[in-house]
Structure 1
């Protein structure tokens, strides 16, 4: 028995690489990286993060979430029909083709697939494989798919809170008044590999208590599925970490509410439909609320107290000095600064050493100083927004 399960596990993992969504997801993660580096060079004449950062994040950050989702699905004995997986893959690919990663949220992809699956009984096809998939989909309780939706929505909230704020890209744009302002952009794609049961004939249960959730399928097989989760947010009115983690916590609250509806749908199946609708509407409202609140507030990276740090080049002197995005530089080498030009002039007073007065997040002044060397960024590696409707880079 153990050998059968182990062999099927290997088959299930191998089938992971047959899903075209996996390769398309990686391709678009790479394209997002290329797009980001081009914009960084346009705005600041320098690449801030490596172009392959998005691919690394895509592959690594979703693994833990995928393992957790897999454990719950396998533990409950949830069986997801292949037709539903194919439907989610098609929707995910369509979302990627229009370059809208935020629509790759499980709320839209899985929730949308659940609503589309309601119309399957009214569709007739001649292809036998498609007909079998549609039959399985029709026979499967929508509750099964709602469980997957709830778990993936929880995974999305977790990823946004823990990883969404990492390596956000600074950018420049024009305000409504035509003034140059600084923003941060978080554009993420996460690969979440999920191992789950599908209808098949390779495995069966001999335990009276498992599967915990009874299904219409006596036999099943294993399949690893490359689910994708996307996230996209502009931040101009607050620190990137604060705004993104707030969005993540809201997604987690939405996921908890959807989970409650999912549990209740075990006894009242119509609530599974409600769970998908609530997920879609709720996720859109979260994005809309964040956008309206951000656009209606004063730009964070413009301040009359000093020069606000918009970005920091990794491994630069500024990075090694412990400076943080959003902190305010008030003095350089004892000279008060409020513009990038003043910063440059004060920094050049002493080319071998610099001392900065920095206003931190708590409004307290701290002093940072460091020797400068010839092979380092000669102007610390800080990115600013110039108050004179122009941009400035300290290389």
Structure 2
């Protein structure tokens, strides 16, 4: 028991040696910085805090990492050094477009699997290169299982998407009018333990603790795997889009898992599982893009003022307002523009009463006083930009 405890502690400490961790930190910083700059340019203020791309993923990621660790260690999953290095290289290459959709395990692990699988078919001059030859003996049995596990995490996280966890954006439509859209972008760091062959690390770290299984020696290594997704909801509510994409991803994960299990009896199904994950993940994305070509959901309305987004922890968030709802009246005054909304708020700033048409078209009322120092427009973001210079500067 003491050996296992020591292995876990040492394996966790070696997480700092993994390229995954540093790639995730750097890319996460770049993405959040670009988003905040975009929010300030479009709305005049930061809507979401820094690193909100990671928010809401910690609990699910840790739970998934624990389950994957039990599976990996219990079933003897061995992750060799060449495999980890190649996955890191693939992740780094896929990071160049700065689109977290490419961080899906279907792409990172899938591309890694295909490179190693077809390596024997490369010219001999390539296979004999000193940095290529270690990949030829890399075991791939566990890769489809890991892909299915990470796809399950993606699907679960998407299904948990809330109305306040996507990023609002204001863009110019084809007809020269402002429209809104929501970008769902998440990154998740899923740490899990796996076995690591002793011979792969002894030349670099002879002090690393090992334990024996049969005639071979292994150590534990903590792998901080990075996964993620990114898509835009323009023709429907982001929560509705998330449910559709999440369900499809979840069922794809189950299909890949079934094929991976079948590969234990028919090895060729391992390759089939990886190809299905790649094609399936791409199909899900293309289907989503096709569905978003409909009439924009977030567009100007003659019946009121459509809510595009809400600043977290603002008065609007505390009042229970949601993106996609239509503000009809403020303090018994009809509003159609942001100017109308601002002026109506000033009529009775001590206690504001707002009439809203919810997503189902039903009327409801919300009310709350506006205290000194709070956002002057309750923390609401609308489709059309403000026409007053004062609004632009204070947004």
TM-score class, shorter: 0.7 to 0.9
DSSP 3-state at the match of 2:192: strand
CA–CA distance in 1 between the matches of 2:329 and 2:66? 49
Evaluate the alpha carbon distance shift between residue 332 and residue 166 of structure 1 in structure 2; reply closer, same or farther with a 3 A threshold: closer
CA–CA distance in 2 between the matches of 1:114 and 1:92? 13
For 1:24, the equivalent position in structure 2 comes to 23
For 2:207, the equivalent position in structure 1 comes to none
CA–CA distance in 2 between the matches of 1:147 and 1:322? 41
Deviations 1:300-335 (A, max 9, x none): 344443211111122222122221121111111112
CA–CA distance in 2 between the matches of 1:163 and 1:381? 21
| Equivalence map 1:356-367=2 (5 Å) | 356-367=354-365
CA–CA distance in 1 between the matches of 2:161 and 2:290? 23
Evaluate the alpha carbon distance shift between residue 69 and residue 279 of structure 1 in structure 2; reply closer, same or farther with a 3 A threshold: same
CA–CA distance in 1 between the matches of 2:157 and 2:320? 25
More displaced stretch, 52-61 vs 351-360: 52-61
After superposing on structure 2, the runs of 4+ consecutive aligned residues of structure 1 that deviate more than 6 Å are 387-394
Question: Does 2:146 correspond to 1:145?
Answer: no
Gaps of 5+ in 2: 200-209
CA–CA distance in 1 between the matches of 2:367 and 2:383? 23
Evaluate the alpha carbon distance shift between residue 111 and residue 99 of structure 1 in structure 2; reply closer, same or farther with a 3 A threshold: same
Gaps of 5+ in 1: 207-216
| Equivalence map 1:332-371=2 (5 Å) | 332-371=330-369
DSSP 3-state at the match of 2:292: helix
> How many residues align structurally?
378
CA–CA distance in 1 between the matches of 2:156 and 2:299? 27
Q: Give the Å deviation of 1:164.
A: 7.7
Aligned 8 A contact 2:234 2:297 in 1? yes
Aligned 8 A contact 1:310 1:384 in 2? yes
Evaluate the alpha carbon distance shift between residue 93 and residue 42 of structure 1 in structure 2; reply closer, same or farther with a 3 A threshold: same
For 2:203, the equivalent position in structure 1 comes to none
Deviations 1:55-109 (A, max 9, x none): 5567666222222222222232222333222211111111123312101100001
For 2:91, the equivalent position in structure 1 comes to 92
For 1:258, the equivalent position in structure 2 comes to 256
For 1:125, the equivalent position in structure 2 comes to 129
For 1:47, the equivalent position in structure 2 comes to 46
| Equivalence map 1:8-87=2 (5 Å) | 8-54=7-53, 62-87=61-86
Which of 203, 221, 232 is equivalent to 2:211?
203
TM-score (norm 2): 0.88
RMSD: 2.5
Q: Give the Å deviation of 1:361.
A: 2.1
Deviations 1:317-358 (A, max 9, x none): 212222112111111111222222222232222232211111
CA–CA distance in 2 between the matches of 1:288 and 1:26? 29
Aligned 8 A contact 1:195 1:222 in 2? yes
